[in-house]
Amino acid sequence: MDARNGPDISVLTDMLSFQLRMLSQAINRAYDDAFSATEASSGTGKLTTLLLVSANPGMSQSEAGRVLGKDRPAMVRIVDHLERAGLLRREPDPAERRRHALTLTPRGEAEIGRYMAIAKAYDGAFFSALTEEERRGLARIARKLRRIHQPETLGLDSATANSRS
């Protein structure tokens, strides 16, 4: 209404989806800045793949893709990049030779600690303005929505606290 206060954007801010998309945009930019000097720079897929393989050595590309919301071609590109960077290795699984078992290289193992530290630091800094209660509430709501809209991503909280709701 008041032109001096800038444009009327209530049409957009009234939509939760808009608020969350803009928030995600800000998160992505903060992370790109944080990881710009690493081999996992630019894009969310590389870092999360490293963290995931570190916690689950031997997992396949398709499994990782199901967790991260990427299809097979997308995973090929991510793994290609990490393999070229010398952080990750793919070897045919002897028991199921269609699969490629993913593991970190010694260098990948050495770097992962540094990446984790950067990720945790920036995650903490980004949400530092929230109270502990707000952070818990946000995590709970996000988990609830993902359980409905991404049912294919299994094990959403099986590995954490067995919380239900």
Partner DNA sequence: TATTGTTATACTCTATAACTATA
Partner DNA sequence: TATAGTTATAGAGTATAACAATA
Q: At residue 118, what is the residue type? A: I
Question: CA–CA distance from 66 to each of 60, 69, 112, 154 (Å)?
Answer: 10, 5, 21, 8
| The one among 44, 46, 99, 100 contacting its own copies by CB under 8 A | 44
Any contact of residue 20 with its own copies (CB under 8 A)? yes
| The one among 12, 13, 77, 121 contacting DNA by CB under 7 A | 77
- Torsion sign over Cα 46, 51, 57, 59: negative
Q: How far apart (Å, rounded) are the C-alpha atoms in residues 41 and 45?
A: 10
Give, as one character, the DSSP assignment of residue 38. Answer: S
Q: At residue 129, what is the residue type? A: A
Residue number, 26 or 84, with CB nearest to its own copies: 26
Q: How far apart (Å, rounded) are the C-alpha atoms in residues 22 and 137?
A: 19
Residue number, 14 or 94, with CB nearest to its own copies: 14
Any contact of residue 26 with its own copies (CB under 8 A)? yes
Site for DNA in 24-43 (CB under 7 A): 25, 29, 32, 42-43
| The one among 22, 37, 81, 132 contacting its own copies by CB under 8 A | 22
Residue number, 58 or 106, with CB nearest to DNA: 58
Binding region for DNA (CB under 7 A): 25, 29, 32, 42-46, 60-62, 70-80, 90, 96-100
